[in-house]
Structure 1
Amino acid sequence: MKNSIYIASVCALLLFACGKVNFFERTERFPQQEWSAEVEPTASFDIQDTSSLYHIYVVLRHTDAYRYNNIWINVITQSPNDSAKTQLLNIALADNTKGWLGSGMDDIYDRRARITREPIALKKGLYTFKLKQAMREDPLAYVMSAGIRVEKIQP
């Protein structure tokens, strides 16, 4: 009985300590750790808070066997009441002095690369992001997942 009260208390404390969620993130896993050019991970987020500023990130997971220091990605953004905009990005995954960028565990690395220079205001409504790998290698080996993260800036 004491243990269940203790566990319930800890769970309640964790729930209250977390507060509101200030980001949206969606990733898609790739079978056999290969990102085919035909596969376009898509994420949609409904933005309601227009008084806050946001950063947008590309989120990638790859293995240590990935052959390149970077990845080229087309990010197609559909914002409310606007036409889709395409942005070609060269995202660094490693450099010659530090090795792999991002966080790693064993032979798997997570890279979160911010694609907005400054915090931006978003309109109210549905945003859809589509990612398309733009590397010469197709399918692109040793990429485990890709996605988008929209993060609210804390005042």
Structure 2
Amino acid sequence: MKPNLPSLLLLMLALCCGCQIATQLNVFEQQTAIPHQSWDAKFRPVFTVNITDTTALYDIYVTLRHTNDYRYSNLWLLITTTYPDGKSIRQRVELPLADATGKWFGSGMEDIFFHRILIQHNAYFNRPGTYRFTFEQDMRDNPLPDVMNIGLRIEKIGRRQQVTADAAKQVSKPTTQP
């Protein structure tokens, strides 16, 4: 049976729309391999993200792959965020990887485990432009063995609610008691 042209075009259109929707949901995702699976504190992966939609809300994740031999139940990161105007902030973030019994939270295949850890919910970007996220491992071990990849994932999850001037006045009006 030969596929007819309209059916084929319709299928291609549906596939393109599906791909477009997927790209709109996953704004950014990038992984960086850790050289020799041993993270030296001097190795500082940088993730550069171009933000155009300042009306959106985002969830920001750190992604991590490690071997089963990783000896800690967490990983401490120093994350430096550099804004489009050149200003930057640095935050220390804990990534929990295992429970008290040592069971990994992430998904695993044999001796490799993957984690996607939410570090900021409902984040928003005040101005469009290029943002840089620099990751530094902040553990006692240097180098930190058995870490394979580190990454950043930013998902668009909704829209910010804009407060209009009238709404702000409405909220700030004093209420009167009878």
1:129 and 2:130 matched: no
Secondary structure of 1:39's partner? coil
CA contact (8 A) 2:76 2:95 kept: yes
Answer whether contact 1:94 1:101 (CA < 8 A) is retained: yes
Asked whether the equivalents of residues 97 and 115 of structure 2 are also in contact (C-alpha less than 8 Å), the reply is yes
| C-alpha distance in structure 2 between counterparts of 1:131 and 1:87, whole Å | 10
1:64-122: CA deviation from partner (whole Å, max 9, x where unpaired):
11010000100000112251100001110111357101221221111111111x30221
Out of 26, 34, 38, which is 1:34 matched to? 38
More helix by share: 2
- Matched residues in 2 for 1:59 and 1:14: separation? 28
1:18 corresponds to which residue?
Answer: 19
Q: Which runs of 5+ in 2 are unaligned?
A: 160-178
Give the corresponding residue for 2:155. Answer: 151
TM-score (norm 2): 0.76
Unpaired segments ≥5 residues, structure 1: none
One-letter amino acid of the structure 2 residue matched with residue 17 of structure 1: G
**Residues 1:120 and 2:123 are matched in the alignment:** yes
Distance 2:37 2:9 in 1: 39
Mapped to 2, the partners of 1:11 and 1:104 lie a distance apart of 35
Contact 1:42 1:147 in 2 (8 A): no
The yes-or-no answer on 1:63 pairing with 2:67 is: yes
Q: Is the 8 A contact 1:57 1:113 kept in 2?
A: yes
Aligned counterparts of 1:72 and 1:89: Cα–Cα separation in 2: 6
Partner-residue secondary structure (3-state), 2:53: coil
Residue 110 (str. 1) matches residue 110 (str. 2): no
Which is bigger in relative contact order (C-alpha 8 A, separation at least 6)? Answer: 1
Partner Cα distance (1:37, 1:134) in 2: 7
Q: Which protein has the larger Cα radius of gyration, Structure 1 or Structure 2?
A: 2
Q: Give percent identity, aligned residues only.
A: 39
Is the CA contact (8 Å cut-off) linking 2:67 and 2:148 kept in structure 1? yes
